[in-house]
Every structure is written in C-alpha cells, then in structure tokens.
Structure 1
Amino acid sequence: MSGAVVEKSAGESSRVPGEARVELEAGRRRTFAVISHPDAGKSTLTEALALYAEVIDEAGAVHGKAGRRGVTSDWMEMERKRGISITSAVLQFAYHDCVINLLDTPGHGDFSEDTYRVLAAVDAAVMLLDAAKGLEPQTLKLFDVCRTRGIPVLTFVNKWDRPGREALELLDEVEQTIGLRPMPVTWPVGVAGELRGLVEVATGEFRRYSRTAGGATRATVELVPSEVIAAEEPQYWATAQDELALLEEIGAGFDEKDFLAGQATPVLFGAALNGVGVARLLDALVELAPAPEARDDADGKPRPLDAPTSGLVFKVQAGMDRAHRDRMAFVRICSGRFERGMVLTHAGTGRPFATKYAQAVFGQQRTTVEEAFPGDIVGLVNAGALRPGDTLYAESPVHFPAIPSFAPEHFAVVRGADAGSFKQFRRGIEQLDSEGVIQVLTSDLRGDQAPVLAAVGPLQFEVVTARLESEFRAPVTLEHLGYSVTRRTDAAGAALLAGQSEVEVLTRRADHAMLAVFSNKWRLETIRRKFEGIMLEALPAGSTAH
C-alpha cells in the first residue's frame, strides 16, 4: 500500500540535513487540481485516481444517483442530492515515491470563486474534456485562470467509452480555441464509444483494458502485441496508425519546455468511470507535472523553497465534521518545513497563530500532520482568524499576493425569518462571509440586520440558506435585488452616486471595499457619461454570464 511508501521515503529523507531535506521533499510533491465543465466526470476522475493509487479499495458509483454511494470527495448534503461538487476537496496520498496533493474543484460556474482560490494553491492542472462535448464554457474560463497564473495544463479526454467526436477534431479544437499545442501521450484505438484500447505514442505499445462493473474496482490491463491487435481489429488499428503518423509529421511530440511554459499540453485519453487510462494519467502527473518552486511574494520577489516556513490560506471551510462543528483553513505550504505546534505569524495582522491542530485531509477522513513540506496542503482546525488569501510565516516575514474577489452578478437582501434566532443568524452570516462562501455587503439604507448577499451565481444563495438553517438553526428569507453589474468605487464616487436611480453603493465586509452596483450595463454607461472621471473600476469576472 502507498502508506508504506510515505513512511519509507520520509524515513530516508529525515536523515538528510535541514535545507537539503526541504528541497528533496518538495521534489517529491505533485500538487494539482482537476478543472472541467459540469458533468465532464471530474469527481469521478478524482476518486478513480485515488483508487488506482491504491489508497481506496473500491470506488463509489457516480455521485448524485438515487440509492448509490457518493464519491469520496463529495461530502456536503446538497452535493449528494444534486450530484454536483459545490465545495473543493483535498485528497492527499502517496503514489510510487511521490506525494500527491489532489484538489477537486467545483465544476459549476456559480462557484467559480472557490475554484479560483484552489488554482492559487496548485502547480499544475488536469483539464478534463468530455469526448462528446470538447471544450465547454466553464472549461475555457478556468483555463484562462490557469494561463493567467502560469499553471501548466495536462489534458485528459474522458468518456471515450461513449459515443463522441473524433480524436483529431478534439485536438484541433484545443489548439484553435485556446492556443495550446496538443502533444498526445496516449492515443485511442477505436472511435469514441467503440474503444479497443490505448496506444502509448512514444513506444507504440498497445494496452487493452478489462472493465469492472461500474468501475468499482481497478480494471486489469493487458499488453497486447501490435500484430495481434492488428489482426483482431484491422480497421481500427490501421486508422490509429494513420493518425499517429500524421501527428508525427506535424511535430506533435512531447516538448517539456513548451508544456511548462504553458504553450502546449500533453493529452491522454480514457474513461474514468471504467478506469481506462487512469493509472497512465497518474504516471504522467508524476513524470511531467512540475514539483513546487519558489513562489513570488506580493512584491514579485521569489521566496526560496528552503526559506523559513510560509503558507498561503486558499480555503476556509466549516461543517466538514458534523460531530465537532469545527472550522478548517486549508494552507498550501510554500516554503520551509512545517511542524505541528509551531507558532506562525499572520501576515495581515502581525499576530501569532498556533498550529497545534494540524491535519491532512482525504475527503472526509483526517489524520494528524506532524510535518509538511512545500506543495503539501495542511488543514488547520478552529482557524477562526484566517480568511482565504491570508499568508502565514515563520521568522522571515512574507506576504503572498491576495486572491481577488470576483464581480458578483446576483444580489439579495437576507433577513432572519425568526426574531428569536437573530444571534445565530448574525453568527452564521459572519462565518459564511469569512469562509468566502458568498460576499456579504452592508448598506446604510438597510443596516446590519439586513445585509446584502452578493453572488457570482444563484446557486450560492441556496448554499447560504441551507447552511444557515442546518448549521445555525437560523431560517432566512431572501429579497432579490435587480442589480447585475458591479464596479469598485471610492468615497468621492459614492457621494456622486447617492440618490441616483437603479444604482446603489454597498460596502464589502471582508475588505471594506466600496462597490457600486447597477441594474444593467446601459445604466452604468449612462452614469459614466453623467459623471465624467468618476472611479468605476472593473473587478475580475467570475461567471460565464458576460
């Protein structure tokens, strides 16, 4: 089992002194996220990767189906009922001599902010494509985030066991639409829906897969001589050979420099639900994905891996453990050796932060972390003082770039439905705001008893109302507001906008930013013309609604 690999490797590396050990351990880490459009099979692939790393013995069926068990990385009740991932989850496990930190992300566009935060914590991403649909809107948006952050992307074409498009057509779409040159690592023999197996492009080896019922256990793989498969499937084999010859002719071979520079993407084919190509994807991540490197601080200065311990808080989540009702901050270790119990400094406040309760997370399961290295994800329990985007450090001060908030497009006034539960209502709103579940705004017109919730997508409102009722026993009512466009403004701009129709200025609780909200983009343009020079600064767009 992989746990033994961790113990052995850690034992060997523990004999390496100080700074050299940090770099050695960092070199073993592979920290990546899976990104995709909803329903491309992302959570299924996430669990399949854990299955093929031999850290779970049996996979659940596709989550969200009545009467079936949900996947390991989906734990929220609403996720199970709807069959979508709303929160991001962390799965940490060993594979060969590497430590994998796999971050599963929400696929639904309404939860773009959570995915954006996760992408601030990874060194690579797997872009998951549906063989029938190719590049879809949410995939494109998430890829843009990867490009902005300089994150190398591997591509996995999923559901090749179902009818879909031609392989060459999908590669052409990737290159023409997002400008990434595809570099196939494996190639399918058989059209989508009639998969016979996969060819290793570099060696020409052919592998045939025997699938298990529902992909619950690992599929067996058979290495079949080329002459045998050529005799058994002459048409499919000949077509695959012609396609491979074409790829070679156009120079589609793997180029590490182009991959790491974000100019090309290794491409693998498979079917996550049936386990086809999953183990090969794991191997590709170990072989090709970059290990952690020095991370730039807010001034653009790299912090070396062997510098004193530092970390970036990229997610805060409560309600993961119903028995304890605790709150966990997920921290990406950026430099140095983290030790449980060490006292770090909160860069934003300068206050000390004790790390007595440090845990590694595998879905809902937790284990105590005694030490961690760059690339690892550590969960700090009862981290009430931490918010997404915060920096923690030891000894040598550092401040990593903040994670920006997206421009909300949906607004609603929230009020407690029960006057007797106002304290619970207020506590719940404060917690959800600090977790970044939704943006909480205040208005002089309404006061603190009726904050304005601002969301990238309407499903965020459902999460808020469900959690307020289930976790805080504070039922609420929502009054939706007719605003859809947001701009950052200042005190001078707020003064000019006071009393204008179809416009309101709200203050974001998290950072006290002043946000001007408009009924539509035409009203925004009218205001711009009326008040020439007024500060109305655009925020990052978080959904596909623009």
Structure 2
Amino acid sequence: MEELQDEIKKRRTFAIISHPDAGKTTLTEKLLLYGGAIHLAGSIKSRKAQRHAVSDWMEIEKQRGISVTSSVLQFDYGGCRINILDTPGHQDFSEDTYRTLMAVDSAVMVMDAAKGIETQTKKLFKVCKQRNIPIFTFVNKLDRFGKAPLDLMDEIENVLGIRAYPMNWPIGIDGRYCGVYNRIKNNVELFASDDSHGQKERDSVVYSLDDEKLIENIDTDIYESLIDDIDLLNAAGEKWNDEKVAKGELTPMFFGSAMTNFGVKNFLEEYLRLAPSPQPHESTNGLIMPDDDKFSAFVFKIQANMNPAHHDRLAFIRICSGKFERNMQVLQVRNDKVIKLSQPQQFLAQDRQIIDNAYPGDIVGLFDPGIFRIGDTICDVKKKFRFADFPVFPPERFARVEAKDTMKRKQFIKGIAQLTQEGAVQLFEQPGAGMESYIVGTVGQLQFDVLEYRLKNEYNVDINITMQPFEVARWLELKNGMEVTPESLRGADRGMFVYDMKKQPVLLVSNEWALGWIIDNNPDLLLHNVPPDKQEV
C-alpha cells in the first residue's frame, strides 16, 4: 500500500487545450525537451527541414500542421511521472478532446497573447469547468506583439468567468520581452538571445529584484514599470486560494513563448508543484479512490493503425486505482468476461515500449483484438462496478460513403467499422441499402477529410463521399414501447430513416422546421439528441 501511495503522489496527468494555432503542440514538444524525453525540438512550421511535432504521429497531421487525434506522451521530470495528453485543437474534433478530458486530473489552457480568448478555447474551458478540474493558463507567443498582460487577465475574467493569478510577469516592451518576474520566488529571470530557433533549452540568468546588475541589464524605465506592475498585482490582484485553484475557479497564469523556450521551464516546474496527483472517479459504487488496492481503469480512446505496417489496434486506458501488472486478469464489465491484459505499452507519440507495471494516473495502451469499446470499465474480478458513461456529441454533418471499387468491399467495411469504434465518426445504415454504402455522421466537415485519408492510406480503399442535406439527427422511441419503423412514422419521407450500429432508429432531417412537423404529427413519439442510453455534451 505504501508503494502505491508513493507512486500516486508522483503522477501528474493533464491535457493541453487551446484554439487551433495557439501553440499547443509546440508547448507540448518543449515540455518534452525540458523533460529530457527529446534532445532537439522540431519546429512545426519548418516544413523545409521535414521536422514535425513529436506528438503529431499521423501523416495527415504532419502534412497539415494540425492535431486531429489525441496523442499520449509520458516522461519523468523533477521526481514526477508526467502523462501529457495532447488534444486536437480543431473544433471538428471536439468529441475526441472531450473524451480525453475525462481521463485527466487537470488541464493547461494555451492562449495566443495577440488573440486572447478564442471560440474553441471557450468551448473547451466550459467542458473543464463542468468537471471542476484545475485549469492552468499559459499565455503563449510572447515573442510577438500582443495584448497587454493586464488586458489578458481582464479577458479571462470577463469572457470565461474565472479569476487569474499571475505566477510570473513579463519584463520588457510588447513583443520584445527580455525576461519574467517570478512572483513566488520574488526574483527575475532574464533570457539570453535564442540562437537555436527554439530547438534547445534557452540559457538564462536569475537576479534578485533589487540586484544592481539587473537594473544594469534592463532599461531604468522597464525596471520602474516592473516595480509598478508588481505593486499593482499585490495590492489589487486576486489573492492566492488553494481551494479555488482545485475547483477550477482560479487559474494560475504563466507568460512565455513555447517557440523560443521563453518561460517554459519555469512553467513546467511550477505546474508540477501545484497540479493535483490522481483524483477519485465516480462509479456505480460511489467514488473510487486512487489508493484503493483493487485495480480499475476505463477505456477513453481506441486507435487503429498507429503502426500502419502492423495494422495494430490499441485501446488506451486511464488507470484509476490499484496497481497494473502485465498479464493480469481483470473483469471487462460490459461483456461480463474475464480478460488478460497482455502487451501493455506506454508511449512517446508513436514510439512505444512494453511495460510490466503502471499506477493510478498512468495511461496504458492495450493490444485490442476488437473487444474494447470507448467508455468500457475494467476492474478487479472481485469488485464489479461501472465508471460514469462518456457523454456524446450529436452529429451535425452527414454524408453517404461508399467504396469506389466494389471489389474492396471487405476492406471498406472493416475500415469504416474500426474508425467508428474509435469514435472518429458515427455510422448509420439505411434500410435496404445493405453494406455497399453507409450514412456517416460527424461533428464537423474536416472529419470527412480525415476519414477519406485514413481509408485510403490505412485500408487501401478509395471512397466516394456524397454530402446529404441533413443537419439534425434524432433518436426515436414510442411512448408505448413499440418498435419505431418507417411505416409507423408519419413524415419519415421528409427526412431519412436510418439505424445506428445498435439498431436504434434515427431520423435525419434538414432543419428544425421539418422536425417540428414530425413532432406535431406523431404525438406518441419521443425524440432524443443522442442515443437514449447516453448523455449529451
């Protein structure tokens, strides 16, 4: 038990969230650089050098310079075992990001200093707030012109409704900052010029606030401005409150530049000091504590073809309690079957290694022969329960998808089924259409591009995508419990009647007006935005 508690205290499991292009993936990579997990950071923008972010392992991500799937990165630093879950920034992949946030104990919100709070940042922040998880803010791109630090603090409060406590403060003039003041240590760190274009750790010198050498190295005006800012923060700024930070009501705020390694090391060290170790999880048996000696975990992600050469399929689990041991036997609750957890792996992006043990907070990849589903609970055979279900996003875009070459029907069915199990898309069957084509639902348009790319490159199937004129999906039930059929539904011809993969009836319609007509003309009908057994995000 003592070993288990010691290992739990070392764990920090967090996600990095942001609007696209705020620098989330760059920050992830720089944390790996400082953690010693990599020795040379690759600039995402530097396509000529053919270097790509370590966390972007899928080929389409390297080509487009965006993250479209969550990746898992693990390394040790400062006596801590760090589990970073790098998430998609693009709004079309919100569902994957939401599932990832179910598996973390805190989140790092990356803001562009010039753009402030952006649309996707607000959406992801709302999800974090719903879960009451601590949120740490990293104001990025301080090497460029941006909004004043005080204005960014006001924006966080006014737009997100959360107070900010600056842990450090930038020194210099907009876009030409030379260092940061550390409020906790009451000292100043001045950075040397960056000659490596952000590929190596950045040299710096630390001064006490009243050191004459500090004043010699920065203009008197800048020094006096810094003293005024410090006085203002201490007098009028938010007071530190551990409880508010733990509830996600107060965000520790850091300023820096991930691209130039400005303030990154300070952020990493302070985050590890302040961030929570693994937290309890809700279940049908109440709260499951991390230090419970009975093993438990849940599947939050499934990924096919991380190694295209082997056509492998991995289920990612978040360990919630107990000690994980290679080849241990556990209960898969959904199927009520005892299974053996073989070939457990941990990751640095696409690089992986077989492990023998893991602890609460750790993310482990398991070889999946097709038995796992997102949201599955696995636990000790003597202690059966379920963790809380994952909420789902209602689809908003629909298309008919079919293989161009009918001779590749088998690969097409396998590929689209696997990608559906990953949660990348939602799949529907139209009565009478057979398996020659499917109706695919997504949250956003970009998911169709990824679907087409992955079927082509991972399953060698070219597809035709025909967009459908529907924007609303409703799962159908009758109040009397009878089966809903196209024949029993008045107005079914005003949309498209389909079944999801659990054979539940669904109606796709083009707008809310058409939906209203169907509601008015089917008084015994119950409609749901998501499957009746699921909760909507």
Fold equivalence (TM over 0.5): yes
Q: Compared with structure 1, are the counterparts of its residues 214 and 444 closer, same or farther at alpha carbon in structure 2 (3 Å cutoff)?
A: same
- How far apart, CA to CA, are the structure 2 residues paired with 1:32 and 1:164? 27
1:40 is the counterpart of 2:22: yes
Q: Which amino acid aligns with 2:205?
A: E
Deviation at 1:120, TM superposition (A): 0.7
1:175 is the counterpart of 2:161: no
Q: Compared with structure 1, are the counterparts of its residues 225 and 294 closer, same or farther at alpha carbon in structure 2 (3 Å cutoff)?
A: closer
Q: Which residue of 2 aligns with 1:163?
A: 145
User: Quick check: 1:391–1:400 contact (8 Å CA) kept in 2?
Assistant: yes
CA deviation string 1:253-311 (max 9, x = no partner): 32211100111100000000111111112112211110012211146443453241111
Match of 1:523 among 501, 507, 514: 514
Deviation at 1:498, TM superposition (A): 5.0
Aligned residues: 523
Stretch of structure 1 that moved more, 268-277 or 297-306: 297-306
1:370-385 alignment, distance < 5 Å: 370-385=356-371
1:86-105 alignment, distance < 5 Å: 86-105=68-87
Stretch of structure 1 that moved more, 338-347 or 530-539: 530-539
User: Quick check: 2:392–2:536 contact (8 Å CA) kept in 1?
Assistant: no
Match of 2:114 among 128, 132, 145: 132
Q: Which residue of 1 aligns with 2:247?
A: 261
Q: Which amino acid aligns with 1:230?
A: I
Q: Which residue of 2 aligns with 1:60?
A: 42
- How far apart, CA to CA, are the structure 1 residues paired with 2:299 and 2:379? 11
Q: Which residue of 1 aligns with 2:97?
A: 115
Q: Which residue of 2 aligns with 1:508?
A: 500
CA deviation string 1:292-349 (max 9, x = no partner): 1221114644345324111111111111112322111110000100001111211100
Q: Which amino acid aligns with 1:209?
A: F
1:438-453 alignment, distance < 5 Å: 438-453=425-440
1:471 is the counterpart of 2:455: no
Q: Which amino acid aligns with 1:91?
A: L
Q: Which amino acid aligns with 2:39?
A: D
Match of 2:350 among 347, 364, 368: 364
- How far apart, CA to CA, are the structure 2 residues paired with 1:502 and 1:137? 34
Q: Which residue of 1 aligns with 2:329?
A: 343
User: Quick check: 2:498–2:506 contact (8 Å CA) kept in 1?
Assistant: yes
User: Quick check: 1:317–1:435 contact (8 Å CA) kept in 2?
Assistant: yes
Stretch of structure 1 that moved more, 395-404 or 135-144: 395-404
Q: Which amino acid aligns with 2:226?
A: A
Deviation at 1:71, TM superposition (A): 1.0
Q: Which amino acid aligns with 2:145?
A: P
Q: Which amino acid aligns with 1:150?
A: N
- How far apart, CA to CA, are the structure 1 residues paired with 2:240 and 2:420? 44
Stretch of structure 1 that moved more, 381-390 or 29-38: 381-390
User: Quick check: 2:99–2:300 contact (8 Å CA) kept in 1?
Assistant: yes
Q: Compared with structure 1, are the counterparts of its residues 237 and 111 closer, same or farther at alpha carbon in structure 2 (3 Å cutoff)?
A: same
Q: Which residue of 2 aligns with 1:458?
A: 445
1:328 is the counterpart of 2:310: no
Stretch of structure 1 that moved more, 271-280 or 468-477: 468-477
Deviation at 1:518, TM superposition (A): 1.9
Q: Compared with structure 1, are the counterparts of its residues 522 and 214 closer, same or farther at alpha carbon in structure 2 (3 Å cutoff)?
A: farther
- How far apart, CA to CA, are the structure 2 residues paired with 1:498 and 1:463? 36
CA deviation string 1:388-408 (max 9, x = no partner): 111111231121112122111
Q: Which residue of 1 aligns with 2:196?
A: 213
Q: Compared with structure 1, are the counterparts of its residues 199 and 91 closer, same or farther at alpha carbon in structure 2 (3 Å cutoff)?
A: same
Q: Which residue of 2 aligns with 1:14?
A: none
1:289-328 alignment, distance < 5 Å: 289-298=275-284, 300-328=286-314
Q: Which residue of 2 aligns with 1:15?
A: none
Q: Which amino acid aligns with 1:517?
A: L
Q: Which residue of 2 aligns with 1:13?
A: none
Deviation at 1:104, TM superposition (A): 0.3
Q: Which amino acid aligns with 2:529?
A: A
Q: Which residue of 1 aligns with 2:213?
A: 228
User: Quick check: 1:311–1:391 contact (8 Å CA) kept in 2?
Assistant: yes
User: Quick check: 1:314–1:330 contact (8 Å CA) kept in 2?
Assistant: yes
User: Quick check: 1:498–1:504 contact (8 Å CA) kept in 2?
Assistant: no
**% identical equivalent positions:** 39
Q: Which residue of 2 aligns with 1:411?
A: 398
User: Quick check: 2:285–2:385 contact (8 Å CA) kept in 1?
Assistant: no
- How far apart, CA to CA, are the structure 1 residues paired with 2:213 and 2:485? 75
User: Quick check: 1:438–1:453 contact (8 Å CA) kept in 2?
Assistant: yes
Q: Compared with structure 1, are the counterparts of its residues 253 and 533 closer, same or farther at alpha carbon in structure 2 (3 Å cutoff)?
A: farther
CA deviation string 1:487-528 (max 9, x = no partner): 33225666664543442333221x444433220223223433
* Helix, strand or coil at the partner of 2:189: strand
Deviation at 1:136, TM superposition (A): 0.6
* Helix, strand or coil at the partner of 2:365: strand
- How far apart, CA to CA, are the structure 2 residues paired with 1:474 and 1:212? 46
1:184 is the counterpart of 2:171: no
CA deviation string 1:68-88 (max 9, x = no partner): 300111111110111100111
Match of 1:435 among 395, 398, 422: 422
Q: Which amino acid aligns with 1:342?
A: M
- How far apart, CA to CA, are the structure 2 residues paired with 1:541 and 1:61? 38
User: Quick check: 1:212–1:274 contact (8 Å CA) kept in 2?
Assistant: no
Q: Which residue of 1 aligns with 2:411?
A: 424
Deviation at 1:241, TM superposition (A): 2.3
CA deviation string 1:397-425 (max 9, x = no partner): 12111212211110001111101111111
Q: Which amino acid aligns with 1:516?
A: L
Q: Compared with structure 1, are the counterparts of its residues 279 and 512 closer, same or farther at alpha carbon in structure 2 (3 Å cutoff)?
A: farther
- How far apart, CA to CA, are the structure 2 residues paired with 1:82 and 1:440? 26
Deviation at 1:467, TM superposition (A): 1.3
User: Quick check: 1:410–1:483 contact (8 Å CA) kept in 2?
Assistant: yes
- How far apart, CA to CA, are the structure 1 residues paired with 2:204 and 2:505? 58
- How far apart, CA to CA, are the structure 2 residues paired with 1:417 and 1:82? 25
* Helix, strand or coil at the partner of 2:103: coil
- How far apart, CA to CA, are the structure 1 residues paired with 2:222 and 2:413? 63
CA deviation string 1:117-166 (max 9, x = no partner): 11010000000000001111111111111111121100000001101101
Stretch of structure 1 that moved more, 303-312 or 339-348: 303-312
Deviation at 1:532, TM superposition (A): 4.3
User: Quick check: 1:497–1:505 contact (8 Å CA) kept in 2?
Assistant: no
Q: Compared with structure 1, are the counterparts of its residues 282 and 445 closer, same or farther at alpha carbon in structure 2 (3 Å cutoff)?
A: same
Unaligned runs of 5+ in 2: none
Q: CA RMSD in A?
A: 1.9
Q: Compared with structure 1, are the counterparts of its residues 134 and 502 closer, same or farther at alpha carbon in structure 2 (3 Å cutoff)?
A: farther
Match of 1:392 among 378, 385, 388: 378
Q: Which amino acid aligns with 1:97?
A: G
Q: Compared with structure 1, are the counterparts of its residues 66 and 494 closer, same or farther at alpha carbon in structure 2 (3 Å cutoff)?
A: farther
